[in-house]
Amino acid sequence: MTSIRKALPIAAVLLIAVASVAFLAHDLPAPIQPLELQQSIAIPFRFVALGDTRFTDSTDPEVSNGAVRRAIVQAIAEQKPALISFGGDIVYRGDHTGDWQVWDSETSAWRDEKIPVYPALGNHDLHGNQKTALSNYFQRFPVLQEHRYYSVRFANCLMLALDSVSDEMKGQQGVWLRQTLNKIPADVAFVIIVLHHPPYTSSSDHGMFGDGHSARSAELELARLLEEKQSTSRARFVVFGGHVHNYERHQHGGVTYFVTGGGGAHAYPVERTPSDLFQSATINYHYLLGEVSKDSMKITMNRIEIVDGKAVWTQPDSVTIKVPTSAAGPNLSPIRQAANLRSSRICGLRIRKPRICTGPQRKAVNEPS
């Protein structure tokens, strides 16, 4: 009897604990079903990457350069790309109807040409009342089905649009991101990451020019993950960030990182670090044109300057990213690669590892044209 009396309180505690776990689990939000979009595109094709346009009904030049913004939109429409990837800060104030109406009006040429736009959220897109801002955002992009992050599969590419306004490395988004990077299809040649906050930047919160943003810890963690995955993947990883209102190009661990924040938002120069592969002391309003073939992706920076009321275009930077030939096969896990290597040694074969070069040797993978 004594043992039964002692066991009863323990059983009661266990019952309460189980009930509490069940209650909490009931209150937890259901896992978000990943959004996996597909677009049919034939190789070769062209696409555009840009960010930080800040469409707005404000005429304040410290907010956005309307003449530059409209010229960029028109130039992109004339390129007739297969798609546009947008790195956020589409509008100046996400909850302001007038700013989104300017977007509607000024980008009508894109809709006339039926050019799909795949955006990533920027901090300005969520400005003000977040519920209203998101309603405005999803109203313009119904294909997103109210998802703040998603993937798009097209041709030989896999594009992941991340929500860096939230922490993209944590929660359900972080789980989804890691799972997606762990199962890259064998026929993917390029993994494109689009987000607002760049993992690498020459810019700084305390830069000499008074404007700018330092790289954040979440994006530095993202970079470590991407570079780890790049070391065992045949597919090339290419990252398009924004937030900094200029253009930059970096390469780390075989991954190519672009800062493309020159879509029209008030631009500023940045104090270039030695690792920035584009050295410039000026502002750089621009968009990026990507040209993709079976085993290469050429990215060209198209820079605009308004001179005497006319748009003057130049192409001061261009890089070609090539998929290396690998006898070990595409996108294999480290375990599978090691198994293949052991098997090849047994058979008397010799395998040469694909070169992933950085710094002065980058031409082995990235060949500026």
Q: Helix, strand or coil for residue 145? A: coil
Query: In the chain, pLDDT over 70 holds for what percent of residues?
Result: 75
Compute the average pLDDT of residues 201-220: 62
Q: What is the pLDDT of residue 204?
A: 58
Lowest mean pLDDT among 111-125, 156-170, 318-332: 318-332
> Does the pLDDT of residue 130 top 60, yes or no?
yes
Rounded (10°) angle between helices 130-140 and 97-106: 20
Beta bridge partners of 237: 191
Q: What is the pLDDT of residue 83?
A: 98
Rounded (10°) angle between helices 171-181 and 217-230: 20
Lowest mean pLDDT among 88-97, 254-263, 320-329, 333-342: 333-342
Q: What is the pLDDT of residue 315?
A: 98
List Cβ neighbours of 215 (8 Å cut-off, separation of 6 or more): 197, 198, 199, 200, 201
> Does the pLDDT of residue 142 top 80, yes or no?
yes
Tell me the two tokens of residue 355: 């070169």
Give the integer Cα–Cα distance in Å for 141 and 113: 16
Q: How many other CB atoms are found less than 10 A from the CB of residue 44?
A: 14
Give the integer Cα–Cα distance in Å for 79 and 262: 18
The CATH code for residues 32-367 is: 3.60.21.10
Compute the average pLDDT of residues 223-247: 95
Arithmetic mean of pLDDT over the chain? 83
Q: What is the pLDDT of residue 243?
A: 86
Compute the average pLDDT of residues 116-140: 96
Q: DSSP string of 36-77? A: EEEE--PSSEEEEEE----B-S---TTTB-HHHHHHHHHHHH
Q: What is the pLDDT of residue 212?
A: 58
> Does the pLDDT of residue 31 top 90, yes or no?
no
Burial (0-12, 13-18, 19+ Cβ within 10 Å), 209: middle
> Does the pLDDT of residue 351 top 50, yes or no?
no
Q: What is the pLDDT of residue 202?
A: 75
| In contact, 211 and 231? CB cutoff 8 Å | no
pLDDT tens per residue, range 97-113: 999 999 999 999 999 99
pLDDT tens per residue, range 167-209: 877 899 999 999 999 999 999 999 999 999 999 887 555 554 4
